[in-house]
């Protein structure tokens, strides 16, 4: 009689550990910060002085008042870009400072 194997793929094991320890969210946040220019565009990235997260909210501090105003109109688009970049819904609120 053949033994049933309890082996799992290494990638699946790593993914499971990351999710259990909530490291997947921390890695996604780190990746968003490091890829901000690709996600938001060069003009926004140049004028961004700080990016922080609290639960499912991202806080973006901009140095340009005109850009803040423009981003208020493009808020939904930017949130969609962030979530699409991560491959899942990392954020549900964007606060522009």
- Alpha carbons 93 and 65: distance in angstroms, whole number: 20
- CA–CA dist 33, 27 (Å, integer): 10
Give the model's pLDDT for residue 3: 59
CA proximity to 56, closest of 35, 20, 86, 16: 86
**Is residue 21 classed exposed, middle or buried when 0-12, 13-18 and 19+ CB atoms within 10 A define those classes?**
exposed
Mean pLDDT of 58-72: 94
Q: What is the mean pLDDT of the chain?
A: 90
Residue linked to tokens 């290494």: 10
Q: What is the pTM of this model?
A: 0.82
Residue with tokens 């901009």: 62
Instruction: For domain 23-96, give the fold.
Output: GMP Synthetase; Chain A, domain 3 (3.30.300)
Segment 31-53 mean pLDDT: 96
Q: Is the pLDDT of residue 2 over 60?
A: no
């Amino acid at each position: 009689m053949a033994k049933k194997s309890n082996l799992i793929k290494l990638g699946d094991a790593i993914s499971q550990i990351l999710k259990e320890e909530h490291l997947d969210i921390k890695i996604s946040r780190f990746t968003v910060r490091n890829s901000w220019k690709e996600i938001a565009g060069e003009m926004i990235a140049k004028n961004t002085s700080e990016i922080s997260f609290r639960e499912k909210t991202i806080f973006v501090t901009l140095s340009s008042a005109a850009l803040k105003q423009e981003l208020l109109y493009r808020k939904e688009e930017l949130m969609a870009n962030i979530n699409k970049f991560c491959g899942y819904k990392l954020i549900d609120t964007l606060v522009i400072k």
